[in-house]
Each structure stands twice: as structure tokens, then as C-alpha cells.
Amino acid sequence: MSVAVTDVVAVQRHTIRMLVVAQAVGAIGITVGVATASLLARDLSGSEAQAGFVQSAQTLGAALFAFVLARLMAVRGRRIGQVSGLLLGATGASLAVFAGAVGSMPLLLFGAVLLGATTAANAAARYAATDLASPEHRARDLSTVVWATTIGAVLGPNLTGPSGVLARAVGVPALTGPFLVGAVLMVAAAAVVWLGMRPDPLLTARAVAAESAVLEEVHTHGSAWQAIAADRQLLAAVVAQAGAHAAMVAVMIMTPLHMEHGGAHLDVIGFVISVHVLGMFAFSPLVGRACDRWGRGTVMVAGGLVLVLALVWSASARPGMSTAIAGGLFLLGLGWSLSTVAASATLADRAPLERRTEIQGGADTVMLLAAGGAGALSGPVVGEWGYGVLASSSLALALVVVASGLIVRATRPV
């Protein structure tokens, strides 16, 4: 098909609009169950020790589906991949409702693995925003889609109460209500993508490249991992993204426990987590513009340094509520935003078109596995040595982000 430049601009604008809507709706669907997932797991298993298994299963599912969906997108385009991830997540949420109704912990865990597909699809949406973006606005467009997650992160948990009422009305346990609502919203997000994201941005980008005879055939041989290993900037971006995410997850998931040990109430803990989420997503459009203006490496280094400051401040926090806890968690989110947007933009810049989805999906798989490992280790570390040691030991990850940013800065840009 022939694609004019003006058509590409119009398609890109339309794609961003559809992705923002789908991302916001899908994020509500995936976050609405965060508050009750561990409680439902505790009730079904009869053990508090197994309360965190749902989150672990979802993280592993997200890591698995990040690469699976990337391979699907490579063949069928972004739209099919996004819709598949959202519908798999809706299936997982429905299984969670059924698991609560019949009292099955294994079924709940299987549903959580499928829910990870929506997490992976939501993560991949930021890359879909870059397929047709002009180089000077690529990070801006990517960060706009990341920002849309803020809507879901804020609204999702606030639907916990009403969803419980809905669950009782239809005859299922109240704790399954968020999953019931989540399933409906994921289907709605899938409908937005299926009906609205036409033409497919990745397939359109390939058509444009074919017409201009710049399709990167030289990169079509070899695996995505070989492509990453052969490019210093790609490798640095993968490492930075994984390091920032692992540091953020390790400290963030242990903060509520640290605050509870000091007598902080649930509403105060919720406020601190909200401040953290604000730092993660609310400023991402500004971060994207900074990447476009000053370079990915510069913003990545800044993100690593903000993470260092956040971790040092958090390490000094006593149990309970304090300025150090709130400030440290806000900066932890902001440092994550700077690092992740810069790393993702680098991946969008450097990934060859014919290996683009597999490289991006592989990077997300590494990121999610790193976070899963960090999350699994954070509990034992806090139990044995305390929250301060966890935050201090996570400094190594932040310094890896700084080093990766310096590599990106020192390497000639595209």
C-alpha cells in the first residue's frame, strides 16, 4: 500500500489517541484488584504466607507474555498483539472470580498468570506509540501513553468498594468484585484497540520503510538477543530498564510493611503509595520531552541519580510515617520514570524494524524477571536485616542505571 507522509502523521495522531484511551481503561482493569488480591489468596489458601503468591504469579505471567505477545506482534502487528493480551487478561480475571466462588487457590494462581498478559500488553503499548513517531518526538509520544497509566493507577483502587457491592449482588464473594470489574474493563480496552487502532502502526511503518527502500534487511538474521548484544546502546537500555524497575519494586512493596511496623494507619500507607504512583507516571510527558531535547543518556543518568537520592533517603526512614518515607517513595517513582522512559525511548530508537517487537518484548521480559527476583528477595532481606539495608543494597541497581546512561551518552546517537 502507498502511504503518504501526511497520512503517516494523521495515523500517528490517531494511534496515540486510541492508545491513551485503551491504556487508561486497561490500567483501571489491572489495578482495581491490587488491594484485594492478597486478601483473596489468604482466604483461599488459609495462610498469610501465601498471600503474596498472586502478585508473584502475575509478574511471572507478565514476563512470559511480554515475549510471547512480542512474537505475535512481529507477525500480525500491534493491534492483534494488544487485543490478545487484553483478552487473555480478561480471561484470567474471570478465572479469579470463579476461583473465589469455588474456593480454589490453584485456579486463582492460574488466573493471575493470565492476568500478566494484560500487564505485558499495557507495557507494550508504549512501544506502539513510537512505530510511526518522528525521531524528534518519539520519546514524547511514548511518554504520553505511559502517562495514561496514571488514570488507571488512581481510579482503579478506588473502585474496590463499589466492586465488592457488585460482586455480592451477582452472588460471588465480595473480594472477587475487583476482578469482575477488571474483566469487563479489559474487554472494553480490547474493543477500543480492535475497532480504533486501524491501520496498524507497526504494519504501516513497515509499508513506509518498504516504499522508501530502507527496510533494515541486514538485521533480519539472528535472534533478538544477538541484536541486543551487538548494540551497546540497546544493551545499556535493557540493563537500565531492568535495574530501575528492580530497585523500585524491591523497596516499594516493602514500604507498607515498614510503615505498619511503626503504627501507620492504612489510609496513611495508601497516601504514601499514591504519592509514589504520582512520581512514577504524572510527570512522564515532561520526561519524554526532556529525552527529546537533551538526549536519552542524559535523562537516564539523571534517573539513576534520583534513584540514588531516593534510596539513601528511604534507608534513613524510621518505621511509621515520616518525611523520609513519603519523600523517598516519591523520588523512587520519579527516578523510575526518568530511567524507564529514557531506556524505552532508546529501545525504540535502536531496535531494527524487523526485530523491533522481539527486542522490545525481550527487554520487558528481562525487566519483569528482574523485578520478580528483587521482589522475592526483598521480604527475606527486610525480615533478616531491616528496611534500611534493603534500600541501601538497592543502591547497586541505581548505580547500574547511572553507568548505563553514561554508555548511552558516550555512544553516537542514531
Q: What are phi and psi of 220, to 5 degrees?
A: -75, -15
**Which of the pair, 122 or 253, is modelled with greater confidence?**
122
Mean pLDDT of 303-316: 97
Q: Where are the domains of the chain?
A: 1-212, 223-414
Tell me what pLDDT residue 365 has. 94
Report the share of the chain in percent with pLDDT over 70.
93
The backbone torsions φ and ψ at residue 332, rounded to the nearest 5 degrees and listed phi first, read: -60, -40
Q: Are 38 and 49 in contact (CB under 8 A)?
A: no
pLDDT-derived band at 32 (thresholds 50, 70, 90) equals confident
Per the CB < 8 A criterion, the answer to whether 297 and 408 are in contact is yes
pLDDT at 215 (0 to 100):
47
Per-residue pLDDT of 109-120, as tens digits, reads 999 999 999 999
SS3 at position 137: helix
Architecture of the domain whose range is 223-414: Up-down Bundle (1.20)
pLDDT, tens digit, for every residue of 69-101? Answer: 999 999 999 999 999 999 999 999 999 999 999
User: What is the per-residue pLDDT for 413?
Assistant: 54
In this model, does residue 300 exceed pLDDT 60? yes
Cα(104)–Cα(94) distance, rounded to whole angstroms?
13
Spatial contact of 341 and 288, defined as CB atoms under 8 Å apart: yes
CB 343 within 8 A of CB 300: yes
Mean pLDDT of the chain: 89
Q: Please give the share of the chain, as a percent, with pLDDT higher than 90.
A: 63
pLDDT band at 388 (very low <50, low <70, confident <90, very high): very high
Report how far apart, in Å, the C-alpha atoms of 236 and of each of 247, 298, 395 are.
16, 13, 18
Average pLDDT over residues 322-341: 95
Domain 1-212 in CATH 2.40.128.50? The answer is no
pLDDT band at 3 (very low <50, low <70, confident <90, very high): low
